Chain A
Amino acid sequence: MTERSTNGQPLLEVRRLKKYFPVRSGLFSRVSAWVKAVDDVSFMIQTGETFGLVGESGCGKTTVGRTILRLMEPTSGEAIFEGENIFQLDAKTLRTRRRRMQIVFQDPYSSLNPRMTVGSIIGEPLVVHGLAKGQELTERVYHLLQRVGLRPEHYSRYPHEFSGGQRQRIGIARALALNPKFIVCDEAVSALDVSIQAQIINLLKDLQEEYHLSYLFITHDLNLVEYLADHVAVMYLGKLAEVAPVEALFTEPKHPYTQALLSANPLPDPKATHERILLPGDVPTPLNPPSGCRFHTRCPRVMDHCRTTEPPLIHIGKPEDRHTVWCHLYEN
């Protein structure tokens, strides 16, 4: 799989990504500890696929998304996007590569500059990258507005005149302006109410088909992932627990954490009963993560060597299925 050929090559391959945040304290603000927000994460995203990244709050999902786009500098690791390591690009090349990868944010209220009109928010990337100006610029912005389900007369309005869902559409139009191949949706619909969520999700699906986009869909909503994603990664405390095709993950989850997570997911049928796997305790602090397997403090199937040895990557089935789990239970 590491062999790169023109057709089998993944759009994005993240290898051993680490992001540690320093904790400073004392008189000279020395670095006294590191928060290991993302610790050795590897996965790959194929062209045209939606890759879901799930996990509870604070497990490092957002940090993964933002380091891939170099909105934060990674501590170490590689992110190969279309054959190039994003983490090694100099500022100038990075600026041109940014046209290929974009982000849609969670909070539609803080993600738009309150002092710019919708037209200039969406048109700005086109102007800065020298892609359009004058009449052509206006036309392209009108087209984008229409494409995301807004009306051309919204062009000269300000963000505060819109509802959350409409603002999220503006954010999507801005991300689409540069015609990217890959979009990170960082909890893109969690701030919206359910009916609007459905509209935005369908918009994202339509756009994916039309522009052959790949998404990294970061969320904590398992139902969304099941509906939208092709491939899912489950994160726990800065590390991946399991990566699997969506059907495999939801029908036969392997990692005990995935199993617990799925059992906590509410079902739409109020009469349906299913066994809840209740995890004892809280998520440990990423400042001082547990030794061995990070999940061992709460794992219902913990074994002795889980406490001391880090679990290796184990393929379930054939490697082409891209179903991997990091758990001692599946050794041999």
Chain B
Amino acid sequence: MTSTPVHTDVTLSSETLAPPETPWQEFWRTFKKDKLALGSTVILIGLLIVGLSGKIFTEWIVVFDTEVVRLPDKFKPPLSTPSQGIIPEQDLPALGLYLLGTDELGRDVFARMLQGSFVSLSIGFVAAGLSMIIGVILGALAGFFGTVKIFKLVSVDTLIMRFTDVMLCIPTFFLILTVVALLPPSIYNIMIVIGLTSWMGNCRLVRAEILALREQDFVQAGKALGLPEHRIIFRHLVPNAMSPVLVSTTIGVATAILTESALSFLGFGAQPPHATWGNILSDGKGFIFDAPWLVMIPGTAIFVVVLAFNLVGEGLREALNPKLRRR
């Protein structure tokens, strides 16, 4: 029978121990275990590269010309070759064939998809990112400073949440239409407007989470340790309130891409002839039986992006939550 002493007085120096993992190393170690999320990240990064090269090769160094109209070659299915002799030499597609077919004006769908990918992806990212940032900040303030009164009249919580209610009452799509109609038509205005009108859900989610977390002892402990309020909010409360927001943001990316498509359909989105996935889809809608690829191609692209985002979001949620980690 040997008993092990409870307190072993070994003097420690950090040389005897491996340095503790940084949060990033640890995050990466757990994230890469989720093969689906990892694959989706690769797809998203690939799409981002496609989007950037689309911007470069269709607008700056024009390799793929999106604006060439070839009426004799309209509604060519994907992978078909241009009609010999009819199309002038300089109008032939860059690859010698219509990789993704042509539309009702004989424009190369591949080139248009490339051009549109930049717009669609950046709208998704910027709008969803903006709505997440606004939602988290307002929700955190409303939840944390709930009872603090401004001018001894209304509490911070009442002010922010009633404003959120007002924003929710306004039919978002018509607000976007109005604002876009008044502002100069620019893709950046559309991103910002979509972001500014879609943060309410996030705000409510974060507020509700923080109201529950605020009463927990670790927040009181933070206060007792003299941590500044911003640190308590953004280091202790917000990370614990993020899981529902991350999920809602990945869906928000998809919604933003679709909202832009709807705007394009009504003629308020990116201005023609500039292509976006949305307006390729909505233009192609009229020819769904004659040329199904005009709908299928942008539709599939949106679907892939949305799916990839959802999977990445799920992976992030898991990697950021220590309790869900499998060691």
A71, A105, A114: the one within 8 Å of B240 (CB): A114
A66, A106, A128, A138: the one within 8 Å of B225 (CB): A128
Q: Which residues of A contact B14 (CB under 8 A)?
A: 135, 138-139, 142
Chain B proximity of A125: nearest CB distance (Å): 4
B-contact 0/1 string along A120-142, CB 8 Å cutoff? 00001100110000010011001
The answer to whether A110 and B218 have CB atoms under 8 Å apart is yes
How many residues belonging to A are interface residues under a CB distance threshold of 8 Å?
A: 43
Asked if A155 is an interface residue, CB under 8 A from chain B, the answer is: yes
Asked if B216 is an interface residue, CB under 8 A from chain A, the answer is: yes
Q: Which residues of A contact B17 (CB under 8 A)?
A: 142, 152-153, 155
Q: Which candidate, B5-13, B202-210, B289-297, is the interface stretch facing chain A?
A: B5-13
Asked if A111 is an interface residue, CB under 8 A from chain B, the answer is: yes
A-contact 0/1 string along B85-107, CB 8 Å cutoff? 00000000000000000000000
Asked if A244 is an interface residue, CB under 8 A from chain B, the answer is: no
CA distance A113 to B231 in the complex (A): 13
Asked if A305 is an interface residue, CB under 8 A from chain B, the answer is: no
Q: Which residues of B contact A125 (CB under 8 A)?
A: 225-227
Chain B proximity of A203: nearest CB distance (Å): 10
B12, B216, B228: the one within 8 Å of A143 (CB): B12
CA distance A99 to B224 in the complex (A): 9
Q: Which residues of B contact A216 (CB under 8 A)?
A: none
CA distance A299 to B37 in the complex (A): 67
The answer to whether B216 and A110 have CB atoms under 8 Å apart is yes
Known: A115-B240, A138-B20, A158-B322. A102 touches B224 (CB 8 A): yes
Q: Which residues of A contact B80 (CB under 8 A)?
A: none
Q: Which residues of A contact B221 (CB under 8 A)?
A: 103, 105, 111-112, 171, 174
A116, A149, A174: the one within 8 Å of B6 (CB): A149
Asked if A146 is an interface residue, CB under 8 A from chain B, the answer is: yes
Chain A proximity of B305: nearest CB distance (Å): 29
* Residue of A128, A149, A171 with highest tally of chain B CB at under 10 A: A128
Chain B proximity of A147: nearest CB distance (Å): 9
Q: Which residues of B contact A174 (CB under 8 A)?
A: 221, 225
Known: A96-B226, A128-B227, A139-B14. A115 touches B20 (CB 8 A): no
CA distance A71 to B214 in the complex (A): 12
Asked if A296 is an interface residue, CB under 8 A from chain B, the answer is: no
B10, B23, B218, B225: the one within 8 Å of A112 (CB): B218
The answer to whether B218 and A111 have CB atoms under 8 Å apart is yes
Asked if B220 is an interface residue, CB under 8 A from chain A, the answer is: yes
Asked if B300 is an interface residue, CB under 8 A from chain A, the answer is: no
Asked if A107 is an interface residue, CB under 8 A from chain B, the answer is: yes
The answer to whether A113 and B226 have CB atoms under 8 Å apart is no
Please provide the chain B residues from 1 to 32 with a CB less than 8 Å away from any CB of chain A in the complex.
6-7, 10, 12-14, 17, 19-21, 23, 26
Chain A proximity of B161: nearest CB distance (Å): 15
Q: Which residues of B contact A113 (CB under 8 A)?
A: 218, 222, 236, 240
11 A-B pairs within 8 Å (CB atoms) are namely A94-B226, A103-B220, A103-B224, A119-B20, A128-B225, A128-B228, A128-B231, A146-B12, A149-B7, A158-B323, A160-B322
Residues of A within 8 A of B (CB): 66, 69, 71, 94-96, 98-99, 101-103, 105-107, 110-117, 119, 124-125, 128-129, 135, 138-139, 142-143, 146, 149, 152-153, 155-156, 158, 160, 171, 174, 178
User: Which 8 interchain pairs have the tightest Cβ spacing?
Assistant: A98-B226, A111-B217, A158-B322, A95-B226, A125-B225, A105-B217, A156-B20, A110-B216
Residues of B within 8 A of A (CB): 6-7, 10, 12-14, 17, 19-21, 23, 26, 216-218, 220-228, 231, 236, 239-240, 320-323
Given contacts A103-B221, A114-B322, 17 further A-B contacts (CB under 8 A): A95-B228, A99-B226, A101-B224, A105-B217, A111-B216, A111-B220, A114-B323, A115-B320, A115-B321, A115-B322, A125-B225, A125-B226, A129-B226, A139-B13, A142-B12, A149-B7, A152-B17
